[in-house]
Amino acid sequence: MSQDQWSSVERYIVDAVVGADPVLEAAIADSAAAGLPPIAVSPNEGKFLHLLARAIGAQRILEIGTLGGYSAIWLGRALSSDGTLITLEAVEKHAEVARKNIARAGLADRVDLRLGRALETLPKILAAREGPFDLIFIDADKPAICDYFEWSLKLARPGTMIVVDNVVRTGKIVDANSADASVQGVRRFYQMLASEKRASATAIQTVGSKGYDGFSIAIVNG
Ligand SMILES: C[S@@+](CC[C@H](N)C(=O)[O-])C[C@H]1O[C@@H](n2cnc3c(N)ncnc32)[C@H](O)[C@@H]1O
């Protein structure tokens, strides 16, 4: 198996079941034009998140890590007109691009972008009693995943789904001695899950245009 094969199979899947989407394609193009890194979820992963949100009837969604708003558009499209997605972004330029992409997608009325470091924004969301959320998508800086998961539990209810992206990292997570802070952040997260009684979790490995990685899914216990 090679990267070329993963990419061509992903293209085949996307052509078959995701299809052309000018709004999402423009979001990616404008993000690239503005110099944002190409680290949004892939189209089939974006649709997967969208389907997860629909499957659980999510009407309050929290996303940590907006970038150019690509996954926020996918998730926002799962909401009914009175649903809300709060998405957190630390970098002003990313937030600016995302706001435009979200507005072009017709989702400005239900996607609420909060600019600032997530660990400063999350306590404000809790204090303002803006939870509980039905679905939480953690996709920001990986060394802080455990902190984000802990905050997610505070902002959850029994049954809340918490998805964490990039938890395989080309398989490097099995290297206990890795010097990569993201790998160590993900390893601490698995250790946390191993003893976490408040949620039940698994992780799935993925391959595609973004390489070899994976995501975890947890459900908050009653
Ligand atoms: C992988 S990208 C998000 C991709 C996006 N979810 C998508 O799929 O379209 C991670 C984002 O998290 C943001 N980020 C990193 N550290 C952060 C922090 N401490 N607080 C909030 N956002 C942060 C980065 O600036 C970046 O835009």
Q: What is the pLDDT of residues 159-187, one digit of tens each?
A: 999 999 999 999 999 999 999 999 999 99
Is residue 64 within 8 A of residue 148, CB to CB? The reply is yes
Q: What percent of the chain has pLDDT above 70?
A: 100
Mean pLDDT of the chain: 98
Could you tell me if the CB of 199 is within 6 A of ligand 1? no
Confidence class of residue 214 from pLDDT cuts 50, 70 and 90? Answer: very high
* pLDDT at residue 137, rounded to an integer: 99
The terminus-to-terminus CA distance of the chain in angstroms comes to 41
| Amino acid, res. 173 | I
Q: Which atom of ligand 1 is nearest to the CA of 166?
A: 1
Confidence class of residue 121 from pLDDT cuts 50, 70 and 90? Answer: very high
d(CA 109, CA 103): 8
Q: Which atom of ligand 1 is nearest to the CA of 46?
A: 8
Could you tell me if the CB of 118 is within 6 A of ligand 1? yes
| Predicted confidence (pLDDT) at residue 74 exceeds the cutoff of 90 | yes
Could you tell me if the CB of 213 is within 6 A of ligand 1? no
Q: Which atom of ligand 1 is nearest to the CA of 63?
A: 6
* pLDDT at residue 1, rounded to an integer: 74
For 23-56, write each residue's pLDDT tens digit: 999 999 999 999 999 999 999 999 999 999 999 9
Confidence class of residue 79 from pLDDT cuts 50, 70 and 90? Answer: very high
* pLDDT at residue 76, rounded to an integer: 98
**The pTM is what?**
0.98
Mutate to test the pocket of ligand 1, among 24, 89, 93 (most ligand atoms within 8 A of CB): 89
Q: Which atom of ligand 1 is nearest to the CA of 137?
A: 6
Confidence class of residue 89 from pLDDT cuts 50, 70 and 90? Answer: very high
Q: Which atom of ligand 1 is nearest to the CA of 140?
A: 12
What is the arithmetic mean of pLDDT over 102-119?
98
| CA 140 / ligand 1 centre spacing (Å) | 4
Nearest CA to ligand 1 atom 16: 141
Is residue 132 within 8 A of residue 152, CB to CB? The reply is no
d(CA 113, CA 3): 34
| Predicted confidence (pLDDT) at residue 11 exceeds the cutoff of 80 | yes
Alpha helices (H) along the chain: 3-13, 22-33, 43-55, 70-76, 92-104, 118-127, 145-154, 181-195
Could you tell me if the CB of 141 is within 6 A of ligand 1? yes
* pLDDT at residue 206, rounded to an integer: 98
| CA 104 / ligand 1 centre spacing (Å) | 20
Could you tell me if the CB of 117 is within 6 A of ligand 1? yes
Instruction: Specify the 3-state DSSP secondary structure of 6.
Output: helix
Give the C-alpha distances (Å, rounded to integers) separating 19 from 7, 31, 41, 73, 176. Answer: 16, 20, 16, 15, 40
